[in-house]
Amino acid sequence: MKEPILYKTLRPLIVFLVKILYKPEIIGTENIPEDGKVVLAGNHTNNLDCVLLITSTKRTIHFLAKDELVQGFKKGLFLNMGIIPVNRRIHDKDALQKAIDVLNNDKVIGIFPEGTINRTDNTIIPFKIGAVKMASVTNTKIVPFIITGEYKIGNKGLKIEFLEPIEIPKKEDLTEYNEELENIISKKLKKEKK
């Protein structure tokens, strides 16, 4: 599987800009394996969450993202950044299979299980099952993460923290493991907001 050229080319500039503009605190990167497959799964606060994740690890992250990003003039840009388009109007089995293929090639998947930016007053939106499904099928650990703070230029307070990896067994019914992932992230977010 080829590495997305544009991702590799733009990453240094992305890292520089994010660190200069937003001064994020990045914690727990030791929980991200240096090689092999891994799913990074966490809360979704802003369109810039992807660039914050890119800044957090030298590994190439293949993000699952809404298919609207690969329509029109944006198509070439986002596909060359290695995203996997997801049709959120259906249970997109094609996108899930592409993510599984990425993991089976010992790569990194980045996913926001809420499925969209959380614009509610709730700590998180109920998680969709995709993250635990792909982890179960491929015997891949999930590294949960939380993003707190705001993307305000020049202000500190933006933080991403990677938590200890969790294992997802091979099972048909993964509801309890999806709830476990959701609870880990929700509890950590509530603790941070106290």
Task: Compute φ and ψ for 67, nearest 5 degrees.
Answer: -70, -15
Q: What pLDDT score was predicted for residue 12? A: 96
Question: CB-hemisphere CA count at 13 Å for 121?
Answer: 0
- Separation between Cα atoms, residue 188 and residue 146, nearest integer Å: 7
**Domain limits, the chain:** 5-193
Residue 80 and residue 6 in contact, taking contact as beta carbons nearer than 8 Å: yes
Q: Which of the four CATH numbers 3.30.70.20, 3.40.50.970, 3.40.190.10, 3.40.1130.10 does domain 5-193 have? A: 3.40.1130.10
Residues of the chain with pLDDT under 50: none
Q: For 31-80, what is each residue's pLDDT tens digit?
A: 999 999 999 999 999 999 999 999 999 999 999 987 776 677 666 677 67
